[in-house]
Amino acid sequence: MRGREQRLAGTIVEFDRVGLRYGTGAEVLRDLDFRLNEGGFYFLTGPSGAGKTSLLKLLYLAQRPTRGRMSVFGDELAHAPREALPLYRRRIGVVFQDFRLIRHLSAFDNVALPLRIAGHGEAEVEGPVREMLAWVGLADRASARPPTLSGGEQQRVAIARAVIARPELLIADEPTGNVDAAMAQRILHLLTAMNRLGTTVIVATHDLGLIAATPGAQLIRLENGALVDPTGALRNPPGRPAEQGA
């Protein structure tokens, strides 16, 4: 056993009294203490200003907590060397609210990027990328560059890029915010299909319909930077080894 760093069986993310502040300001996240299970489907909700964006940054390793412990994939990463983080990030797919597509690359090349970074040859890239573009309804836009795509089309390219490498953890920030109802259902189907394949999915959304259409998903609700978990379903169990070894 490794004390606080010991990973609970089936756990992919653990936060232990995590707090985050920017500079010398007040904490934007405080005393976050929860665990997320491998293969779970979670919706992150809460009012504007609750800290959702900051929590997402911690989850996809763009930000590190200013206090507490944060384990992802079983490894404590709050104080890990910066050069170690890219290897962990490759196991995480992210759909950003502002898309973050590379403007000078085609839709095809944007989606292919994670596979190429992982070292796949072009023979391994062509089929999966074209299949994914077809799945999100963009088979005929493969050569188009982001500035020529509508907001909804850019959103779908971003989603295709995030899931193409079948990440272990998929984080989506308002993935249905720029698409119509039919495409929103299609995107939800893609996310749940990825989840059935074993990917842990975290979706930040204000869309109550999306939540209602996903039975079995759990809610992560933030208010004023703190976790609201009235049932205790997300909290670290009392008396576990991770709390006894400090």
Show the tokens assigned to 134.
């077809």
pLDDT tens digits, one per residue of 9-37 = 589 999 999 999 999 999 999 999 999 99
Largest CA distance in the chain: 57
Q: Report the distance separating Cα 122 and Cα 182, nearest Å.
A: 33
Nearest of 240, 203, 233, 208 to residue 55 by alpha carbon? 203
Q: Report the distance separating Cα 19 and Cα 55, nearest Å.
A: 10
pLDDT band at 153 (very low <50, low <70, confident <90, very high): very high
pLDDT at 236: 72
Q: Report the distance separating Cα 166 and Cα 241, nearest Å.
A: 32
Q: Where are the alpha helices (DSSP H) in 60-196?
A: 85-89, 107-117, 122-135, 151-163, 181-196
Nearest of 178, 171, 39, 165 to residue 114 by alpha carbon? 165
Quick one: what percent of the chain has pLDDT higher than 90? 72
Q: Which of 120-129, 137-146, 178-187 has the lowest mean pLDDT?
A: 178-187
Nearest of 76, 61, 243, 29 to residue 169 by alpha carbon? 61
pLDDT at 4: 37
pLDDT band at 208 (very low <50, low <70, confident <90, very high): confident
pLDDT band at 182 (very low <50, low <70, confident <90, very high): confident
Taking residues 62-68, what's their average pLDDT?
96
- pLDDT > 50? residue 2: no
Show the tokens assigned to 80.
């890990």
Whole-model pTM: value is 0.87
Q: Which range has the top average pLDDT, 100-114, 191-205, 213-227?
A: 100-114
Contact 78, 65 (CB under 8 A): yes
pLDDT at 88: 94
Contact 136, 59 (CB under 8 A): no
